[in-house]
Amino acid sequence: MSGARHRKLAMLNLALFDLDHTLLPLDSDHAWGQFSVKIGWRDPETFAQANTAFYEQYKSGTLDIHAYVRFATQALRDLRGDVATQAAAAHAEFMASVITPAIRPSALALIDKHKAAGDILILVTATNSFVTAPIAKAFGLEHLIAVDLVLDANGIPNGDIDGVPSFREGKVTRVEQWLGERKLTWGDVSRSAFYTDSINDLPLMERVTHPVATNPDPNLRAIAQTRGWPVLELFND
């Protein structure tokens, strides 16, 4: 029995996917911010300015993830009444009007390829779980590692991050925690692929056996070319 279990674990293959500008041709967190302005939850001028500034910090690798999450969840914390119902309705509209039209056949085909190979697929994103949980479902991804939020007694984010944020080196930590929860380690993983566009994800790219620079930013593209990593363009249309 133990030998059979060992052989089974030795065949474990992981396919890890970043979300924003990797599976989606947009940044879901940034888009959610813009959407919150559209529905009147935030002041257009001040919010758009700060949202864009944080996004530029993310692209340059200088983002303070804790400050950003406090900013990104402010609209939810400012709601009154039945906040949970309002938030669910807004997210459903966000999915229908912004996310679903942006899901490309090329991204779905990549996911289907790994499913057909019997891999375990995990969405590993630095965007918070409120925004990304429905997106993971839309892609048919069972497992999600996202920035988890501390919730108040009513289930509303209080602005703090719960545990290690899945950002930069934190993505490696969170994948290791995911494995540990299943009594596994990297040693039980035969093959691990990670698809991402961002230089912020270099730590996890360096940890897996098959890093794939996907729609990469200029910094990641340069590193991929230097190290001989494959470059995948999903959104050439």
pLDDT in tens, 46-59: 888 898 898 888 87
Contact between residue 59 and residue 66 where contact means Cβ atoms under 8 Å apart:
no
Helix (H) or strand (E) holding 112: helix 105-116
| Average pLDDT value for residue range 101-117 | 98
pTM: 0.92
Active-site choice (20, 29, 148, 197) = 20
82 tagged catalytic: no
Question: What pLDDT, in 10s, does the model give residues 128-152?
Answer: 999 999 999 999 999 999 999 999 8
What percentage of the chain's residues is helix, strand, coil (to nearest 5)? 55, 20, 25
Residues ≥6 apart with Cβ < 8 Å to 117: 13, 15
Active-site choice (18, 29, 148, 197) = 18
Contact between residue 166 and residue 177 where contact means Cβ atoms under 8 Å apart:
no
CATH classification of 2-232, choosing from 3.40.50.10310, 3.40.50.1000, 1.10.10.10, 1.10.443.10?
3.40.50.1000
43 tagged catalytic: no
Looking up tokens 């490309």, which residue turns up?
104
What is the rounded distance in angstroms from the CA atom of residue 78 to the CA atom of residue 157?
Answer: 11
Contact between residue 57 and residue 63 where contact means Cβ atoms under 8 Å apart:
yes
